[in-house]
């Protein structure tokens, strides 16, 4: 009887608007991915999908909101790297990334781009490293928050380049980019959606890409690996998570609908134009990816000595 009731609920689902909780301020990579998916999903399921920005505490505010939400498929977290990093940064988390969430799908992945203000007297990664060594402790790198993919890219850069640069965390990529354009910070390992548009207009200067392969959106920008930091590889990823007790039938229905949207040619084209690659995985594949990243980032955090500031 419970199985029949669950299946019936899944067939009816959704019957009201769905909330996507993006744990950052508007304007960053997570916000871009969230809104592209939400817009198309609203059209295909016949219900409005609303993106709510709930920044703060290294994404923990938005993540906890979803972990404690009713497990009915109507409150969904747009999660990512911070969710697999925060367990090693915070002594007490208000949620458990394995126990408190039901993975829905890994939506996308994207490299970060090392960008600087055009007034900085450097035009390559090697020149930036030389400047950082000459001005020890003076240069700063922005991030979308502690534990974000751009924070970790910055820390990996600091360790591999052997430089002393100061981390300046924000509540999202949009805010970080605004201050970089204003010259308030030296550099930013920004996600492609938040950074590429400003590189194209000349408001920012791109020096390198954080993945081993060049971005399709910026094929003229070398990788940091090519630029001399051999093996440098770190990217942002995004995924949807429901509260843990959400019925599997509902999770699978939502996953199926989101995957359909992600695989639409127009979605792939719009994401690709901003350097974002579509993944569109199963719930099981996202669960495995989370466990894999927990292991990977624990090693990086310990090696870099990263602590909550």
Confidence at residue 5, expressed as pLDDT on a 0 to 100 scale: 52
What residues does CATH 3.40.190.150 cover in the chain? 2-109+237-304
With pLDDT > 70 as the criterion, what percentage of the chain qualifies? 96
Which residue in the block uniquely carries the two structure tokens 């970060």?
Answer: 112
pLDDT digits (tens, 9 = 90+) for 275-305: 899 999 999 999 999 999 999 899 888 887 8
Rg, the chain, Cα only: 19
Determine the Cα–Cα distance for residues 67 and 245; give it in Å rounded to an integer.
Answer: 10
What top-level class would CATH report for the domain 111-209? Answer: alpha beta
Q: Answer yes or no: is pLDDT of 257 > 80.
A: yes
CB 213 within 8 A of CB 223: yes
The CATH fold assigned to 2-109+237-304 is D-Maltodextrin-Binding Protein; domain 2 (3.40.190)
Determine the Cα–Cα distance for residues 266 and 236; give it in Å rounded to an integer.
Answer: 22
What single-letter DSSP state applies at residue 19?
A: E
pLDDT digits (tens, 9 = 90+) for 10-28: 668 999 999 999 999 888 8
Q: Answer yes or no: is pLDDT of 73 > 90.
A: yes
Determine the Cα–Cα distance for residues 19 and 54; give it in Å rounded to an integer.
Answer: 11
CB 267 within 8 A of CB 250: no
Q: 2-12 and 248-262 are packed helices; what angle lies between their axes, rounded to 10 degrees?
A: 30
CB 62 within 8 A of CB 25: no
CB 297 within 8 A of CB 85: yes
Q: Answer yes or no: is pLDDT of 130 > 60.
A: yes
The helix/strand/coil state of 35 is helix
Question: Rounded mean pLDDT of 100-125?
Answer: 96
Determine the Cα–Cα distance for residues 132 and 141; give it in Å rounded to an integer.
Answer: 11
What residues does CATH 3.40.190.10 cover in the chain? 111-209
pTM: 0.87
CB 84 within 8 A of CB 150: no
Find, among 81, 124, 153, the residue nearest to 228 by Cα: 124
How far CA 60 is from CA of 71, 85, 149, 201, 227, in Å, comes to: 18, 11, 15, 34, 35
Helices (H) and strands (E) in the chain, counts: 11, 10
Confidence at residue 58, expressed as pLDDT on a 0 to 100 scale: 87
């Amino acid at each position: 009887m419970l199985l029949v009731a669950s299946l019936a609920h899944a067939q009816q689902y959704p019957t009201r608007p769905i909330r996507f909780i993006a744990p950052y301020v508007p304007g960053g990579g997570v916000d871009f991915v969230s809104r592209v998916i939400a817009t198309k999903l609203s059209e295909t399921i016949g219900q409005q999908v609303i993106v709510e920005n709930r920044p703060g505490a290294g994404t923990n505010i938005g993540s906890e909101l979803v972990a404690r939400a009713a497990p009915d498929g109507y409150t969904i977290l747009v999660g990512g790297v911070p969710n697999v990093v925060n367990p090693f940064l915070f002594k007490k988390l208000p949620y458990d990334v394995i126990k408190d969430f039901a993975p829905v799908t890994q939506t996308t992945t994207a490299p970060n781009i090392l960008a600087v203000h055009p007034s900085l007297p450097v035009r390559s990664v090697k020149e930036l490293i030389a400047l950082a060594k000459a001005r020890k402790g003076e240069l700063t790198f922005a991030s979308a928050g502690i534990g974000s993919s751009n924070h970790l890219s910055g820390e990996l850069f600091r360790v591999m380049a052997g430089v002393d640069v100061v981390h300046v965390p924000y509540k999202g990529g949009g805010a970080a980019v605004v201050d970089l354009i204003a010259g308030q910070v030296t550099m930013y390992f920004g996600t492609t959606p938040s950074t590429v548009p400003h590189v194209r207009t000349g408001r920012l200067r791109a020096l390198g890409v954080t993945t081993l392969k060049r971005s399709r959106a910026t094929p003229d920008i070398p990788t940091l690996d090519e630029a001399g930091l051999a093996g440098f590889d770190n990217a942002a990823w995004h995924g949807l998570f429901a509260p843990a007790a959400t019925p599997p039938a509902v999770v699978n229905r939502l996953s199926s609908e989101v995957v359909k949207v992600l695989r639409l040619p127009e979605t792939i084209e719009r994401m690709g134009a901003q350097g974002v690659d579509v993944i569109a995985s199963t719930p099981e594949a996202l669960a495995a990816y989370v466990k894999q990243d927990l292991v990977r980032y624990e090693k990086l955090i310990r090696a870099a000595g990263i602590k909550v500031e």
